[in-house]
Amino acid sequence: MAFAAYEVVISRDAMTVYGFLMDGLNNSLWRSGIRSISVRSGIRGQKGALYQQTINGPGGRPIAADFKITEARPGAEVRFAVVAGPARPTGGYYLSTEGATTRLRFALEYHPKGLQKLMNGMIQKTMEGEVAQLEQLKTVMESRSVV
């Protein structure tokens, strides 16, 4: 199993951060490596929404990484599952209010099967890089006008 988590404190209230995370189209604003993203089915920003996503894979080749919002607790949690592509981790964003700020934890988990187990080290490193992009999310959120 591969697991990675990262945490930041954002100078925004939890509902603002939650709303930003619920809209998967915002991923391209803070996650590097996204080539394209669109809503494939469901309602944008709602539990059950399925986002069609293409990311940069090894050697820069495009890889499908579609994901679905599986759980949503306003101001507290957003969970998702990757449903297309060679690796299909599950993950979540976990929010807690700290005064006027929000502590945000991003965690990913992946259970490789078969020959993918041989690539566990590479998968772990990739996941660690993904969750560390929360620093970019913090920058984007704090530079935006409060809505």
Contact 94, 105 (CB under 8 A): yes
pLDDT at position 77: 98
| 86 found inside a domain | yes
| 56 found inside a domain | no
Distances from the Cα of 51 to the Cα of 12, 115, 122, angstroms: 25, 27, 25
pLDDT at position 137: 97
Q: What 3-state class would DSSP assign to 133?
A: coil
Q: Would you mind telling me the total number of residues written for the chain in this entry? A: 147
pLDDT at position 32: 92
| 52 found inside a domain | no
Report the alpha-carbon distance of residue 137 to residue 64 in Å, rounded. 22
Which CATH number belongs to the domain containing residue 126 in this structure? 3.30.530.20
Is the model's pLDDT at 147 over the cut of 70?
no
Which residues touch 15 (CB under 8 Å, ≥6 apart)? 74, 75
Phi, psi for residue 24 in degrees, rounded to 5: -55, -25
Please write the tens of the pLDDT for every residue from 93-137.
999 999 999 999 999 999 877 766 666 778 889 899 999 999 999
Please write the tens of the pLDDT for every residue from 11-60.
999 999 999 999 999 999 999 999 999 999 999 999 999 999 999 988 88
End-to-end CA separation in angstroms for the chain = 39
Which residues touch 103 (CB under 8 Å, ≥6 apart)? 7, 8, 9, 95, 96, 97
Cα of 13 vs its chain's centroid, Å? 19
Contact 23, 45 (CB under 8 A): yes
How many structural domains compose the chain? Answer: 1
pLDDT at position 108: 97
| 128 found inside a domain | yes
Contact 40, 34 (CB under 8 A): no
pLDDT at position 118: 63
Write down the pTM of the prediction. 0.91
- 23: domain range? 2-31+72-143
| 122 found inside a domain | yes
